[in-house]
């Protein structure tokens, strides 16, 4: 060995021990020197431990990332709720929901769908004229849309790729809605059901694998805010 290199190694042996690539090369050279008939059980055990450590580190990173995502989602919902509580009129509420809340929640469009009884044509016309984000549909529409006609509604929040009939909710967009969150709204008393629909042009924005606790909380707040102005 070159004397200068040897002196450097002897002066700083930790440099060799702390370098993963160098240590792997040394272990490989040692294995080759022993020949194919000798098995280093200690080396195999260390390799297994190293693999387990790598898996634990990956799991740790995934848990931390999920925690940050959950915290960010919680902050978004809280900001949106506080913004909705600032309003003092129904028109202002609709405007904030359509602009500020949509930006906070990072969705491309928000729609509020009210069910109305078939005979309430005057009420349907009044609701439709309030704001472009409001739609009016017949009895049973909310459950039919949220379940897509399959069974009964088991949760008040559905997150998924944009389903069949989404254009009826969102209308014509400059970019197609590819995923959505649909929130069932119970307005109390004898009032028919309603639904809030959050549409996104990002196909990965909403998916069935996502937790819906925060959106369920937001739906509860939205229900209470709407009840303030509905008669």
- pLDDT for 72-129, tens place per residue? 778 888 888 888 888 888 888 888 888 999 999 899 999 999 888 654 555 555 665 6
Compute the mean pLDDT over every residue in the chain, rounded to the nearest whole number.
81
pLDDT score of 119? 47
- pLDDT for 145-180, tens place per residue? 999 878 777 788 999 999 888 888 888 766 789 999
pLDDT score of 108? 92
pLDDT score of 6? 81
What is the rounded average pLDDT of the residues 32-41? 60
- Is the model more confident about 4 or about 222? 222
Domains: count for the chain: 1
Taking 90 as the threshold, does the pLDDT of residue 64 lie above it?
A: no
Residue 111 lies in a domain: yes
Residue 82 lies in a domain: no
Taking 80 as the threshold, does the pLDDT of residue 220 lie above it?
A: yes
Residue 220 lies in a domain: yes
Q: CATH code at 105?
A: 3.30.450.40
What is the span of the domain harbouring residue 116? 89-227
Residue 190 lies in a domain: yes
Residue 65 lies in a domain: no
Residue 103 lies in a domain: yes
Taking 80 as the threshold, does the pLDDT of residue 18 lie above it?
A: no
- Is the model more confident about 59 or about 141? 141
Residue 216 lies in a domain: yes
CB 175 within 8 A of CB 108: yes
pLDDT score of 179? 94
Taking 80 as the threshold, does the pLDDT of residue 62 lie above it?
A: no
pLDDT band at 36 (very low <50, low <70, confident <90, very high): low
Residue 139 lies in a domain: yes
Global pTM value: 0.67
pLDDT score of 120? 53
Burial 100-136 (b: 16+ CB within 10 A, else e): bbbebbebbbbbbbbbbeeeeeeebeebeeebebbbb
């Amino acid at each position: 060995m070159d004397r200068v290199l040897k002196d450097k190694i002897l002066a700083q042996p930790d440099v060799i021990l702390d370098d993963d690539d160098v240590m792997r090369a040394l272990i490989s050279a040692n294995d080759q020197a022993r020949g194919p008939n000798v098995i280093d059980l200690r080396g195999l055990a260390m390799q297994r431990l190293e693999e387990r450590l790598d898996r634990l580190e990956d799991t740790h990173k995934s848990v931390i990332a999920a925690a940050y995502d959950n915290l960010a989602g919680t902050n978004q919902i809280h900001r949106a709720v506080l913004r909705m509580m600032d309003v003092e009129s129904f028109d202002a509420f609709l405007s904030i929901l359509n602009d500020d809340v949509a930006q906070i929640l990072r969705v491309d469009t928000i729609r509020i769908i009210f069910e109305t009884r078939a005979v309430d044509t005057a009420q349907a016309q009044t609701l439709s004229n309030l704001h472009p984000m409001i739609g009016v549909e017949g009895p049973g529409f909310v459950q039919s849309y949220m379940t897509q006609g399959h069974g009964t509604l088991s949760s008040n929040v559905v997150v998924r790729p944009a389903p069949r009939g989404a254009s009826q909710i969102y209308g014509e967009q400059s970019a197609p809605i590819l995923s959505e969150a649909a929130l069932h709204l119970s307005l109390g008393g004898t009032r028919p059901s309603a639904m809030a629909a959050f549409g996104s042009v990002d196909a990965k924005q909403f998916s069935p694998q996502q937790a819906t606790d925060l959106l369920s909380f937001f739906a509860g707040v939205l229900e209470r805010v709407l009840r303030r102005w509905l008669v």
